A = this chain, B = another copy of it.
Amino acid sequence: MIYGGIEAGGTKWVCAIGSGPDDVQETVTFPTTHPEETIARAADFFNGNGALAAVGIGSFGPIDVQRTSPTWGRITTTPKPGWAGTEIVAALSAALDLPIAFDTDVNAAALGEHRWGAAVGLETFCYITVGTGIGGGGMANGTLMHGLLHPELGHMRIPHDRARDPFDGVCPYHGDCFEGLASGDSIRARWGRPPEQITDEHPWLLEAEYLALGLVNVICTLSPQRIIIGGGVMNEPSLLALVRTRVQVLASGYFDAPELGEAIEDYIVRPALADRAGVLGALELARRALASPEDR
């Protein structure tokens, strides 16, 4: 059986048809413009292929993921112009007449890594992306993380030493929350250059400190068996090692686990599926929507 998958990002949408990493039959990528136009492009792509069994969407958010909610399948309070309240699932359902599965972009990426990547066999883990913004998802006890809403890791509050970093942060809601201090947008605003043009050490030491503080808070709350950290900011070659070291230092020997000491290289890792985790996870979301419980 083949499926459709959409990684519905705030900057671009990636759509794929297939059943897994070794069977991606066709993909398309286009910019996220107005909701109607963007959703229509995705629908056109899938409509050109008659054999799909279902479509999975991993969406930017916040979104409503509660199946019993009257607003299930919508984007909710996003500051992205034109997108608040967009009924993604309803619009695609109307255009495609197929079962639609819907979750956050980061839960989709987590699911992709769980099926084929760095989280195979784990029950409780996090997938964190550090790009334009910061998001996080994952599984707890073998099930994708939902609750009142869904995780919003980017909006945790972390220590901000204004003597070291007087920058106010870029979050329109919270200023210097985790995303406000450590996202790609914050790096660009603080240093006046995009992350890929920053080659001096100091900005990356600061970035590693903030990322480590966020990761330590995730470790203290969820106790994940592994943390997978993706997103464009992590493309800086020095960053992952700096983050691992700072997590070790911040843990301070409190946690009785080699994963937070000498084995940290197996604990904080890059996505095995690289930048395909989200769209591949969306294919798996689609498969699961049709699968019996024991095949999920």
Contact = CB atoms under 8 A, between A and B. Distances in A.
Interface of A: 62, 64, 76-77, 123-125, 136, 140-143, 145-160, 173-174, 178, 213, 216-226, 250, 252-257, 259, 267
A64 B174 CA distance: 37
A222 B222 contact: yes
Contacts of A157: 158-159, 213, 216-217, 250
Contacts of A252: 173-174
A88 B218 CA distance: 28
Contacts of A142: 141
A86 to B, nearest CB: 13
A59 to B, nearest CB: 14
Contacts of A143: 140-141
B254 A151 contact: no
A224 B255 contact: no
A148 B225 contact: yes
12 contacts: A124-B140, A140-B147, A141-B142, A141-B146, A151-B221, A153-B221, A154-B220, A155-B254, A157-B217, A159-B160, A173-B252, A218-B221
A218 B148 CA distance: 12
Contact of A145 (B219, B223, B225): B223
Nearest to A136: B221
Contact of A253 (B150, B158, B173, B259): B173
Contacts of A213: 157
Contacts of A222: 140, 145, 147, 151, 221-222
A156 B62 contact: no
Contacts of A154: 220
Given A158-B159, A174-B254, 19 more contacts: A62-B256, A64-B256, A77-B254, A124-B147, A140-B141, A141-B141, A147-B224, A148-B224, A148-B226, A148-B255, A148-B259, A148-B267, A149-B223, A149-B256, A151-B221, A156-B220, A157-B213, A218-B221, A222-B222
Nearest to A75: B256
A172 B171 CA distance: 33
Contacts of A255: 62, 77, 148-149, 152
Given A146-B124, A148-B225, A158-B159, A220 B153 contact: yes
Contacts of A141: 140-143, 145-146
Contacts of A140: 124, 140-141, 143, 145, 147, 222
